[in-house]
Amino acid sequence: MTEQHETPSGVSGRALQKDIPQATVARLATYLRVLAVLADEGTAIVSSEELAVAAGVGSAKLRKDLSFLGPNGVRGVGYDVIKLRDRIEDVLGLSGGHRVVLVGAGNLGRALVGYGGFRRRGFGMVGLFDNDPEVIGTSVCGLVVRDVAELAEAVATLEPTIAVITVPDATAQSVCDLLVAAGMQSILSFSPVALDAPDAVEVRRVDLAVEMQLLSFELARSAELEAADREVAAGAESIRAESMRDGVGAETVHAASDGSRVVPTRLGRTATQNGAACPATRQVTPIQTSHAAMEPTKGSVVTP
């Protein structure tokens, strides 16, 4: 096994958490997902470049993010996948896993309970609650839906660390109040309503409509940029076509049959000679081949 540099003695993930920016924490979660896949595939070592590409970030940013965890890799070799995964899990507080209760056994709540990815990442659903008499007592993925009136007692028994709210907007605040009163300190809400909670309670909100609005904005911006690019391209083509019609760039020198140079002026123009119109060309004496004739002295002006 490749030798790895361990975190210095006495420095735990908890001690480092306060120093890690929120944006870095979000990316650490992405790195953890990639590392979990690599571990499942049997990959032992991963380079910073490979991990960065899989996570969709630059390798420099990845190395800076991982520097918050202390020394982890071997220069020129890479990171031990299992050790780095465990290190990130420790910093994110996932080493011991989390017990999750969910309030709101509607379509969204049932879908979340049935999602197996939560358990694979250390989040086990241990309780499901609702206030609908027709739903209470039914089973969802092995969990029996319990009456929300039993929430305080259930929290004391189940000892969850995270609560999820998937109820209609009108009742989201009241459910939040029940969870806070039961002692929950980490709440994830899928309601767009801004919930009021004590400072000691961490509430995070997931608004799917906002996320789709952001995607809509990106689509509109991409369409606008593409239209602008097409307009620029069309303008350039129009200028090129007009230039060809006007003869711009047609002043190339070519040889006449008598050996002299003929220098055409812009196409479509005529010159007059002795008061009479004539083709827009003029005869130039044969080119001098001597070096002195070809190179003007400094400061001189060469006339045609």
Tokens 């080493």 found at: 95
The secondary structure of the chain, three-state, reads CCCCCCCCCCCCHHHHHCCCCHHHHHHHHHHHHHHHHHHHCCCCEECHHHHHHHHCCCHHHHHHHHHCCCCCCECCCEEEHHHHHHHHHHHCCCCCCEEEEEECCCHHHHHHHCCCHHHHCCEEEEEEEECCCCCCCCEECCEEEEEHHHHHHHHHHHCCCEEEECCCHHHHHHHHHHHHHCCCCEEEECCCCCCCCCCCCEEEECCHHHHHHHHHHHHHHHHHHHHHHHHHHHHHHHHHHHHHHHCCCCCCCEECCCCCEECCCCCCCEEEECCEEEECCCEECCCCCCHHHHCCCCCCCCCC
93 marked among binding-site residues: no
Please report the pLDDT score of residue 199 as a whole number: 94
Q: Are 11 and 70 in contact (CB under 8 A)?
A: yes
Q: Tell me how crowded residue 4 is: count the other CB atoms within 10 A of its CB.
A: 18
104 marked among binding-site residues: yes
Tens place of pLDDT per residue across the chain (304 aa): 333 333 333 444 444 555 789 899 999 999 999 999 999 999 999 999 999 999 999 999 999 999 998 877 677 788 999 999 999 998 988 878 899 999 999 999 999 999 988 888 889 999 999 999 999 999 999 999 999 999 999 999 999 999 999 999 999 999 999 999 999 999 999 999 999 999 999 999 998 888 899 999 999 999 999 989 898 988 888 888 888 887 654 444 444 445 544 444 444 444 444 444 444 444 444 444 444 444 444 444 333 3
84 marked among binding-site residues: no
299 marked among binding-site residues: no
241 marked among binding-site residues: no
b/e per residue 17-39 (b: at least 16 CB within 10 A): eeebeeebeebbebbbbbbbebb
Cβ-count burial of 57 within 10 angstroms (0-12 exposed, 13-18 middle, 19+ buried)? middle
109 marked among binding-site residues: yes
Q: How far apart are CA 139 and CA 128, in angstroms?
A: 9
